[in-house]
Structure formats: C-alpha cells, structure tokens
C-alpha cells in the first residue's frame, strides 16, 4: 500500500473568491472554481496540494496569539528575503501581526484574519 498523499488544504472564510484572489496573488497559483463543490474556489498546482477556500456563514477570524478563538493551523511560505516578501504580502492585502515571536520568519494575517508566515530557507 502506498502512503496517502496530501491532496487539498481547506480554509474556511466568508468569501471564497476574495480569499482565493489573495492567495493566488501571494503564490502565483491559478484559481479554479470547483464545479463539484461550488461555491468553493481552489488554487490548483501540478505538484502541490490544492488550497480550497470554503464559505462559512458565521466565520470568525482567529484571535491569535491570545483570546478565545485560537488559530488551529497556519501556512508557511518560504522566501529568500523577508523584507521583499513583506512588501509583497502587504501590497496584496495582508496585515503584519503585532506579535512576532522569531527572527527567521514573520507572521502576517490574510484578509480575513488567518495567520500565515513568511520564512527564510532552513538550509
């Protein structure tokens, strides 16, 4: 038996089209509307798991790093230069998180409040 392969990461949000556009601008991965799971919107790449943005009516953004609605997951994106990466994500609608717990990565919030990190290569 082969091991299962990670196929898709589903992200809850109030507006799948808006959040898909943000992550498409962040990664350069094309947007595809899911014919089977409308109104979900996916980013699909040949060699990476898909990101799927799923509408949740009563969505509430995580209150990380404190509060009663903690994050349950986050995405890391590797960049060669943190300053350049920061300029890019801010220009497409991200916000820099006040809490920055490290020096080899930076924490940001996507347009609906999900935290994500830009990280330097680990080598």
Q: If you write DSSP's letter for every residue of 88-105 in order, what string do you get?
A: HHHHTT-EE-S----SSE
**Four-CA torsion 99, 107, 33, 40, nearest 10 degrees:** -30
Q: Which residues contact 51 (CB under 8 A, 6 or more apart)?
A: 8, 9, 11, 20, 23, 29, 42, 43
> Mean pLDDT per segment of 10 residues, for the chain of length 123 residues?
74 93 95 72 85 90 84 87 96 96 93 93 74
| Structure confidence at residue 4 (pLDDT) | 61
The domains found in the chain, sorted by start residue, are: 1-59 (3.10.180.10), 60-123 (3.10.180.10)
37: tokens are 């799971």
Question: pLDDT tens digit string along 7-25?
Answer: 789 899 999 999 999 999 9
Angle at 50 between CA 12 and CA 72, to 5 degrees: 35
| Structure confidence at residue 1 (pLDDT) | 67
């Amino acid at each position: 038996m082969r091991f299962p392969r990670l196929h898709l990461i589903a992200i809850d949000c109030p507006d799948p089209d808006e959040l898909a556009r943000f992550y498409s601008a962040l990664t350069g991965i094309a947007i595809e509307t899911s014919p089977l799971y409308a109104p979900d919107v996916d980013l699909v790449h040949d060699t990476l798991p898909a990101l799927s943005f799923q509408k949740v009516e009563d969505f509430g953004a995580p209150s990380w790093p404190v509060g009663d609605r903690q994050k349950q997951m986050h995405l890391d994106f590797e960049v060669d230069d943190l300053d350049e990466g920061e300029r890019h994500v801010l220009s497409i609608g991200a916000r820099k998180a006040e809490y920055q717990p490290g020096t080899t990565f930076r924490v940001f919030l996507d347009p609906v409040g999900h935290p994500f990190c830009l990280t330097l290569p680990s080598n």
